[in-house]
A and B are shown apart, each in its own frame.
Chain A
Amino acid sequence: MQNLHPRDRFISNFSKFEAGLNGESKSPFHELRKKAISKFEELDFPTTKNEDWKYTNIAPILAHEFNPAAGAALTKKDIEPYLVPNLKVNLLVFINGKFRSSLSHIYKQRDGVVIESLAKMLKTNPELVLKYMGRYSGLDNGFAALNTAFADDGAVVYVPDDSTVDNYIHIMNLLGSAGENALAQPRNLIVAGRNSKLKIIESYHSISELENLTNVVNEVVLGENSDVEIYRLQHENMSSFQVNKTQAYQQKGSTYTHYSVTLGGSIVRNDTNTVLDAENCTGNLFGLYLTEGRQHVDNHTFIDHAKPHCQSNEMYKGVLDGKSRGVFNGKVFVRVDAQKTNAYQSNKAILLTSDAMIDTKPQLEIYADDVKCSHGAAIGQLDDEAVFYLRSRGIGEEHAKRVLIRAFANDIFETLTSDELHEHLNHLVFEKLK
């Protein structure tokens, strides 16, 4: 096994996976998986020769062998540290990619609201899954194809028209297994109907110190005038890997807000995309990454303005310490008919050491003329004068710098509506900067 090409290793795992499916391998959903595995065979894993992966070499990930690990025995007490304190949530817990109902808790919802695991939905209501899954996230790179090929569990959230979900939904992913590198490939589907409202927390944590790999694909579908907020927290151990693709699709008048907070992980690659495919949509993408040691965090975003009268805001901030490396590639695409588009994008990064590195590529591709698009990127250090100001008031240098970094990072959280979440994220940032 060890000598096999990484691609072939995964392909040979597929037949094992297929054999374990029993009767389900005849289902229409499995056709999607089969299509994906042959696409994966064709695409292989991306290399740095691929423009979208230019700055992220995934060879260190593929040097490891990963196994879909068995579930660990955890109690409700064990998962407490991963919860947002004092925040009432509908909790979905996934351990090594598999739904654990004994640890999850879902409040009673309005009629028609679905908050369920993908594994169960494939048995009880595969039509609903098939109606949406795989239609928004294409099989455009090796990781997305691989995820689709092995998709068997994840979260499915469906909110019917004119409805809402009480409280946040927290999709908690725990990964780790004693003695081997664990692999999880969660596949989440979030569908918000017309005039619906939905808030989701998506968090990733490690329960072992080994090199685990999470390869996630999220599909988010926003109906007319719906409002969806997603908070992604990546807080794994410092040797784990994550490849995350979150593809949103927006219908008329919808508002999509995505926050990405990356604190942990050895190599993290996020593709956060949205298509504004009708008038009057708003897309907001915010991100914060704090890195140290040899961490490598790559944020790719793609905002596709397909129709007129839409607006998008994007702000990503990074603080890089140690020998860490940050990548930001933000693409704003304005299609031919997307007149009256307003798109704003900004990326700011602070380098704290001479060994840290940042590569950024804010990219505009515009095919309509009546638009206002701008992007800004700035890379620098903490303002000497601000440090001096604090020091002249008797604050130590270390402390002064920390205060300034926190202030820099806090910008991203300013628009958060939940105090509990704000407090929690702030606390995590504080801990990370210690």
Chain B
Amino acid sequence: MSTEVSNVEELAIKDYKYGFQTDIEMDIVPKGLSEDTIRLISVKKGEPDWMLEWRLKAYRHWLTIAKENEPKWANISYPDVDFQDIIYYAAPKQKPELNSLNEVDPELLRTFEKLGISLQEQKRLTGVAVDAVFDSVSVTTTFKEELSKLGIIFCSMSEAIKEHPDLVRKYIGSVVPYTDNFYASLNSAVFTDGSFCYIPKGVRCPMELSTYFRINTIGTGQFERTLLIADDGGYVSYLEGCTAPMRDENQLHAAVVELVALDNATIKYSTVQNWYPGDSEGKGGIYNFVTKRGACRGVNSKITWTQVETGSAITWKYPSCILQGDNSVGEFYSVAVTNNRQQADTGTKMIHLGKNTRSTIVSKGISAGKSNNSYRGLVRVHKKADNARNFTQCDSLLIGDKCGAHTFPYIEVANESAKVEHEATTSKIGEDQLFYLRQRGIAMEDAINMIVNGYCKDVFRELPMEFAVEAQKLLSISLEGSVG
């Protein structure tokens, strides 16, 4: 990926560069949602009964809240989603049960190559283990053997349900219960695949784990479910990247990510999301309604969310940390870029429950074109959370006079020893900075890129190397043509 992306020519591609569709025979369950659809998904995936029961419970709960319709509180607007008009399961027809990459359908491999994550290349050059999710079924997992030597389990969710049912059963829904919210309920009922990772006691995962999501079939909702568990003293850094082909319909993506960090464990979760944002008129694009939450269950545990959001027509997500264990730490670093008619309502929740818990929030929003970008965050210090500490910095940058930048920070403190600080600024790119760069012969667009990159540095610094490079390139593509 890094070698591909560092290719300078790619910068010249102005439109969405991942807009191609792979012609592979797909095994598709007809559109529509009912208990039968869920049973069919469960059967197709060969799941045990308890999993099906759980799905059905979630679906029945979803039906009760679906009556009151979808949540509308976010600062975004979009037409109602027709949940009967979605394909809930799409898998490549010959599910490859493969031992080596050579046996993978070459068409599929080429797709990944275009995405810049050629598995072979990955394996050979970067040392990143990839669990590639192609629509709903995980195709192949690299480096699995190496990881299993350390006792690390890294596989697709459907495999984990079959191979490690005890672990899955113990933790699934324990951070994001199926009753959590509208889209989490829906996901619990119909999720098709996702990644599962378990780091055993005292193990430091030697490489960055990575997964790549790609929405391919027309009208497929991507409902993946990711579960990461770091046992006592474990460490893992996990990368998630997302792309989707260019298509006119809006596609729905409602994922659930659950992280569990036990005593002294550390989880670092990084996301680069560059799904198709729709065209300049706001036609098409992905609806990204995701529930991400991490629980710092043990003492001294730590969860870091880093996200770079440049894609999707609508982004609606709040990666959160529940700081249960004493001395646990939650961090959230985010860059959200919106251009044209994109809408983003994103932020985080830091729930301080344990003593001496600390959290840091750094959010950088950039709005251009006719887009709207909102930060919505919650910092809650419970009564028993003595000496809790939070620092929040959320800045917004405006490019152009038709866009909007908003902040909705909620701060709720019920403990007198808490220290909570919140700072927010909104401004446009400094004219003197631009002038300085321009008079040194740097083109307007490049100058803006440089300033924006500098502005986002606090967050990019937190990204693993491979992602940091890609994130910077993505940023410049997203802002392409925003200079008026």
Contacts and interface: CB of A to CB of B under 8 A. Distances in A.
Interface of A: 51, 336, 339, 349, 351-381
Nearest to A377: B422
Contacts of B398: 366, 368-369, 371
A362 B416 contact: no
- What size tier do the contact residues of chain B reach? 20 to 34
B417 A381 contact: yes
Interface in B389-408: 396, 398-408
A372 B405 CA distance: 12
A349 B398 CA distance: 30
Given A364-B407, A366-B406, A379 B418 contact: yes
A362 B424 contact: yes
Contact of A351 (B413, B425, B428): B413
B110 interface: no
B420 A379 contact: yes
B341 to A, nearest CB: 14
A365 B383 CA distance: 31
A365 B420 contact: no
B415 interface: yes
A366 B396 contact: yes
Contact of B411 (A353, A356, A359, A366): A359
A356 B404 CA distance: 36
Given A365-B404, A378-B420, A380-B420, A371 B410 contact: no
Contacts of B407: 362-364, 375
Contacts of B383: 354-355
B116 interface: no
Nearest to B427: A372
A361 B402 CA distance: 25
A351 B381 CA distance: 12
Contact of A376 (B400, B415, B416, B424): B424
A378 B391 CA distance: 9
Given A356-B416, A365-B406, A379-B420, A373 B428 contact: no
Nearest to A372: B427
Contacts of B421: 376-380
Nearest to A321: B416
A369 B407 CA distance: 15
A379 B419 contact: yes
Contacts of A357: 412-414
B173 interface: no
A361 B411 contact: yes
A377 B411 contact: yes
Task: Please name the 5 residue pairs, one residue from A and one from B, whose CB atoms are nearest each other, closest first.
Answer: A369-B398, A351-B416, A377-B422, A373-B426, A379-B420
Contacts of B423: 374-376
A356 B383 CA distance: 9
A373 B424 CA distance: 8
24 contacts: A353-B416, A356-B414, A356-B416, A357-B412, A358-B413, A360-B412, A362-B407, A365-B404, A366-B398, A366-B404, A367-B403, A369-B403, A370-B428, A371-B427, A371-B428, A374-B426, A377-B411, A377-B420, A378-B420, A379-B419, A379-B420, A380-B420, A381-B416, A381-B419
A371 B426 contact: yes
Contacts of B416: 351-354, 356, 381
B413 A379 contact: yes
Contact of A364 (B410, B414, B426): B426
Contacts of B409: 361-363, 377
Interface in B293-339: none
B303 to A, nearest CB: 23
Nearest to A325: B414
B411 A360 contact: yes
A371 B429 CA distance: 10
A4 to B, nearest CB: 28
A354 B382 CA distance: 10
B413 A374 contact: no
Nearest to B412: A359
Contacts of A51: 73
Given A368-B398, A378-B420, A380-B421, 13 more contacts: A336-B401, A349-B413, A361-B408, A361-B411, A362-B424, A367-B404, A369-B400, A369-B401, A373-B427, A374-B425, A379-B418, A379-B419, A381-B416
B79 to A, nearest CB: 22
A381 B418 CA distance: 8
Contact of B415 (A354, A365, A372, A377): A354
Nearest to A380: B419
Contacts of A376: 421-424
A373 B425 contact: yes
Contacts of A356: 414, 416
A359 B405 CA distance: 23
Contacts of B403: 367, 369
A380 B419 CA distance: 5
Contacts of B428: 369-371
Nearest to A359: B412
Contacts of B420: 377-380
Contacts of A365: 404, 406
Contacts of A349: 413
A188 B434 CA distance: 50
Contacts of A373: 425-427
Give the most central of B399, B412, B422, B426: most A CB within 10 Å: B426
A339 B431 CA distance: 14
A339 B426 contact: no
A421 B419 CA distance: 33
Contacts of A372: 425-427
Contact of A379 (B404, B406, B411): B411
Nearest to A374: B425
A310 to B, nearest CB: 15
A296 to B, nearest CB: 14
Contacts of A364: 396, 405-407, 424, 426
A376 B391 CA distance: 11
Interface in B182-230: none
A372 B428 CA distance: 8
Contacts of B422: 362, 375-378
B427 A361 contact: no
A359 B410 CA distance: 7
A159 B305 CA distance: 57
A368 B416 CA distance: 38
A135 B249 CA distance: 45
Nearest to A354: B416
Contacts of A339: 401
Contacts of A371: 398, 426-428
A355 B383 CA distance: 8
Contacts of A351: 413, 415-416, 418
Contacts of B73: 51
B424 A369 contact: no
A377 B419 CA distance: 11
Contacts of A359: 410-413
Nearest to A368: B401
B401 A370 contact: yes
Contacts of B405: 364, 366
Interface string B363-387: 0000000000000000000010000
A339 B400 CA distance: 11
Contacts of A361: 408-411
A300 to B, nearest CB: 14
A366 B426 contact: yes
B361 to A, nearest CB: 13
Nearest to B410: A361
A76 B53 CA distance: 77
Contacts of A368: 398, 401
